[in-house]
Amino acid sequence: MRSSNIKWWIVWLLLSLGVAAYYGYALTGEDKTALLPGTTSHGHYQIELACDSCHGEAFAGGEALQAACINCHGDQLKAARDAHPRSKFTDPRNANRVALLDARYCITCHREHKPEVTDAMGVTLPNDLCFICHKDIAQERASHNDISFDSCASAGCHNYHDNQALYEAFLVKHGNEPAHLNPQRVPERNLHQWNLAVASSPATALAAGDADAPANRQLATDEFQHWVDSGHATAGVNCSDCHRQENKTWIDKPGVKICESCHKQEVSGFTAGKHGMRLAQGMSPMVPAMARLPMKAKVAKQPLDCNSCHGAHQGGVKEAAVDACMGCHDDEHSRHYPDSPHAQLWQQELAGLIAVGSGVSCATCHMPRAEVRQLGDRHVAIQHNQSLNLRPNEKMVRSVCMHCHGYQFAINALADGTLIKNNFSSSPTVEVMSAQMALARDEKRGAR
């Protein structure tokens, strides 16, 4: 009997040591998959193995998690016209609200590794969370009497952080606009030449004979011509500006850091989005095989960086606006783009049949033009964080859709899931009532 007990103790000890060794290796090694307590949300799964990026060293507490959230999302929160800022919940007068919903911390609503309760945008609270604080809204607004208490966040109604496209004054101002505006054109980008002007080369155009690549690093004829015709050569950026480091060592394939020396704004946006977020955490680049959306198998292992879209020497924006996207994406929305009215406008623009900015490419919607301030001046730049206006998609209304469409048509289209799948190839079949409600309320006030 005693001998049998000893054997079981030995087995238990060996198993314990094996488990400890396994998790110890996982903790110190690069692959920490075994340590994940559950599936990570769509927004963070790419960096789920960089545990320290969220948890800090030795898995620090809630304050460390909060600091990590702000480190990545702080600029977006500052830019949002947020009706629920943190200051509202740190105000002692609102202590009763904190007791109901402690919105001082992001993880109150966005808790990772809980797939069974994770909704869109990583929200892990019930859909009726608004009711906690706003249960008396029907008494204040008769229009809300028959609205379900768990529908506040439905498309076209309310967003917790940024309601710019849904504020009542905005709805009243734009609620009666026609479906199609005239003219229909996105603002012209003008920051690219300013960025390139900070390159180390003189800001004078370079010709074919000016190329300073070593003899053993000469390009093929077509690649060389791409450089001659590119914005880089036009702005005086020579071969060595990208291919030589400070120690004069020639680099065949310069990385994102080289691009950042001239294109800081673009790289900052790129590394904040899904395409480049792994690079921001010091991880290997994303490859399409990692995506949770369908991607084309032939590019599954192709690392994503600046050259993936712009080409090593071509550097063009027209190719990056559609061809680069279609080269990887294979979801239903992307596959329908070539036959959509938007694509037809893009082809007309490329052919010179309509004004520049009148066509609609993938980049028009997912990498919109945005006004930025640089050295005290205002410029229009391209937002390279392609994830920024994806969720909630109402964020596209102001920054994208309303360059061409009236508010009501735009919000209806974004609320129509079938229309999104066929890439807006027909008219919306969904009608969002927010604007009508705001207009009726405004008319009632005016009649008093």
Q: What is the tens place of the pLDDT at every residue in 158-172? A: 999 988 889 999 999
Whether residues 363 and 271 share a domain: the answer is: yes
Mean pLDDT of 108-130: 90
Whether residues 338 and 245 share a domain: the answer is: yes
Question: Is residue 36 domain-resident?
Answer: yes
Could you read off the pLDDT of 68-94 as tens digits, one per residue?
999 999 988 988 888 898 899 999 999
b/e burial code for range 237-263 (CB count within 10 A of at least 16 → b): bbbbbbbbeeeeeeeeebebebbbebb
Full DSSP string of 76-142: HHHHS--SS-HHHHHSGGGHHHHHH--TTSGGGT--SS-GGG--GGG--S-TTTTHHHHTTHHHH-G
* Tally of structural domains, the chain: 2
Whether residues 282 and 393 share a domain: the answer is: yes
Percent of the chain predicted with pLDDT > 90? 51
Nearest partner of 223 among 307, 130, 125, judged by Cα: 307
Nearest partner of 371 among 260, 265, 219, judged by Cα: 265
Q: Which two tokens stand for residue 212?
A: 């300073």
Domain boundary among 89, 110, 131: 110
Whether residues 386 and 267 share a domain: the answer is: yes
Amino acid identity at 187? P
Of 40-54, 324-338, 365-379, highest mean pLDDT: 324-338
Could you read off the pLDDT of 235-268 as tens digits, one per residue?
888 999 899 877 778 998 898 999 998 888 899 9
The answer to whether residue 23 scores a pLDDT higher than 70 is no
Cis ω for the linkage preceding 392 (within 30 of 0): yes
Whether residues 99 and 241 share a domain: the answer is: no
Question: Is residue 20 domain-resident?
Answer: no
| Surface-to-core class of residue 445, CB atoms within 10 Å of its CB (0-12 exposed, 13-18 middle, 19+ buried) | exposed
Question: Is residue 157 domain-resident?
Answer: no
CA separation, residue 26 to residues 20, 36, 221, 285, 346 (Å): 10, 10, 49, 21, 49
Whether residues 265 and 385 share a domain: the answer is: yes
Residue 96 belongs to what domain range?
27-110
Full DSSP string of 268-285: HHHHHSTTTHHHHTTPPP
Mean pLDDT of 328-336: 98
Q: How many CA atoms lie within 13 A of 298 on its CB side?
A: 4
Domain boundary among 110, 145, 173: 110
Whether residues 278 and 398 share a domain: the answer is: yes
Question: Is residue 317 domain-resident?
Answer: yes
Could you read off the pLDDT of 379-422 as tens digits, one per residue?
888 999 999 999 899 999 999 999 999 999 999 999 999 999 99
Q: How far apart are CA 223 and CA 239, in angstroms?
A: 12
Question: Is residue 22 domain-resident?
Answer: no
Question: Is residue 66 domain-resident?
Answer: yes
Domain boundary among 93, 110, 127: 110
Q: What per-residue confidence (pLDDT) applies to 416? A: 96
Q: What per-residue confidence (pLDDT) applies to 200? A: 47
Percent of the chain predicted with pLDDT > 70? 90
Q: What per-residue confidence (pLDDT) applies to 261? A: 87
Question: Is residue 67 domain-resident?
Answer: yes
Q: How confident is the model at residue 201 (pLDDT cuts 50, 70, 90)?
A: very low
Question: Is residue 127 domain-resident?
Answer: no
Q: What per-residue confidence (pLDDT) applies to 341? A: 96
**Which residue pairs, CB below 8 angstroms and at least 24 apart, start in 353-361?**
355/183, 355/185, 356/188, 357/185, 357/186, 357/187, 357/188, 358/183, 358/184, 358/185, 360/404, 361/321, 361/322
Whether residues 209 and 76 share a domain: the answer is: no
Q: How confident is the model at residue 197 (pLDDT cuts 50, 70, 90)?
A: very low
The answer to whether residue 20 scores a pLDDT higher than 70 is no
Whether residues 95 and 238 share a domain: the answer is: no
